[in-house]
Structure 1
């Protein structure tokens, strides 16, 4: 089985490296193309992947084609590869706002899988939302699961919710980085060395996320476990609530979702 990657940006590279670290396929079964040839040629030298001369060659030689380009060039790329797409080829998209129906209209054939990964995939800690066209069979779905499980977790959802998932999981790392930075800035303001402040803040955030994931407890329950009557934590929470933290986060998710609906 041959897997082709059109595009080797952050998300494409995360998936490529995740697959290379696993024993899922051999390096020579990965066919790569990126306009910045240094990216893929470097992988070829280091790991033994195959560099295609163009998108057409890549599509023709691949059983699975992962289109990891920006939304504004999707139409151009899909039209370019259309003649090489067969009924049995699996086409995986990685972009907000690009619907399965839109891809079908441009390609005319193929099994379409729409995905939304996030950047923690770069360290194997990502989560990918996945939805499928009706042509995708169960064995095809299992293949998709294997590909994306090389760099994290997977959730399968209805397509109508995929852009919501994008706002919650794909945009949110940036929101969380802002929160970590703000926590660290507070520590620096009060005298902590910056490197220590970043370490304390980032580990607190990653640990808190793991607590929600691994314990299954409601976030509110975990919050209450940290919040003593009349203590320091509830005093900080009072300020966050007064400043509208919850509302700001909810509005950020809505704004990201609405932006995705306008992309193509």
Structure 2
């Protein structure tokens, strides 16, 4: 679906780099089909030497050259970016924003009748195991969104949600890697506490969480059922699960997602 499509990135930071790496690794496009804009000449030089892609310090050049434009900039600068490019964006260009908290309506007010897609990816896209939630604007049909979904599928998995779910997505999967890192760190500390070397503990903890997550995704079984499969009567696992329930770990994780969701809503109102 991306054959003969020119792809542009306004903002050449870590997210843009992850997406570029993913689509090139999946061979969805050739390097000659990609152009990146950034305010840092050093960053542009790095991206050019790493991926053999075109770069430019001029964001308007991205609009002139691209069929799909990814806005991979920080939320606090996106207003200036839109003001700069809006006069040049044709109605045939697909605009994809990954700026957290910036609504489709905000973008659409400056980009009339342009198909806009808002995406919330999370940081594991950097290793090809992210999850990206897409919300489609008024003019973004399924035929328009399919190539964008293909791009994000190259760095993980993709779901389509209504835009009013984006704050909840942010609270769960957007912030979720941080929760997982806390769990891995705590499990590794526990391993050290019971006598394991630090690096061995980190490896055991990280691989255990990754394996458990893969079982959920590949078996399509409910996590509670998979938990029951490893929880023998009177065994070690139920003893550990009992302590987790006593200490309120489940409630703490629920509260963390709720708090992050509410914070996302507050930020979106600014």
What is the TM-score with the length of structure 1 in the denominator?
Answer: 0.95
SS state at 2:110 partner = helix
2:240 is equivalent to residue 240 of structure 1: no
How many pairs align?
Answer: 264
1:20-68 C-alpha deviation (Å, 9 max, x unpaired): 2122111011110122222232221232201012211112221111011
1:207-246 to 2 correspondence within 5 Å? Answer: 207-246=211-250
The residue number in structure 2 matching 1:30 is 34
The residue number in structure 1 matching 2:185 is 181
The residue number in structure 2 matching 1:204 is 208
Name stretches of at least 5 consecutive residues in structure 1 with no aligned partner.
none
The residue number in structure 2 matching 1:116 is 120
Conserved 8 A contact 1:11-1:118: no
SS state at 1:204 partner = helix
1:47-58 to 2 correspondence within 5 Å? Answer: 47-58=51-62
**Worse overlay, 239-248 or 191-200:** 239-248
In 2, distance between residues paired with 1:263 and 1:68?
Answer: 18
In 2, distance between residues paired with 1:121 and 1:192?
Answer: 31
Point out 4+ residue stretches in structure 1 off by more than 4 angstroms.
Answer: none
Residue of 136, 141, 144 corresponding to 2:148: 144
Question: 1:106 offset after TM fit, Å?
Answer: 2.8
Question: 1:159 offset after TM fit, Å?
Answer: 1.2
Conserved 8 A contact 2:17-2:47: no
The residue number in structure 1 matching 2:50 is 46
In 1, distance between residues paired with 2:7 and 2:203?
Answer: 38
SS state at 2:267 partner = coil
What is the TM-score with the length of structure 2 in the denominator?
Answer: 0.93
In 2, distance between residues paired with 1:152 and 1:9?
Answer: 19
**Worse overlay, 44-53 or 84-93:** 44-53
In 2, distance between residues paired with 1:114 and 1:73?
Answer: 16
SS state at 2:135 partner = strand
In 1, distance between residues paired with 2:180 and 2:141?
Answer: 36
The residue number in structure 2 matching 1:156 is 160
SS state at 1:97 partner = coil
The residue number in structure 1 matching 2:92 is 88
Question: 1:90 offset after TM fit, Å?
Answer: 0.6
SS state at 1:113 partner = strand
**Worse overlay, 253-262 or 204-213:** 253-262
Conserved 8 A contact 2:6-2:68: yes
Aligned-pair RMSD on alpha carbons? 1.4
Bigger relative CO (Cα 8 Å, ≥ 6 apart): 1
Question: 1:217 offset after TM fit, Å?
Answer: 1.0
Question: 1:222 offset after TM fit, Å?
Answer: 0.8
Question: 1:225 offset after TM fit, Å?
Answer: 1.2
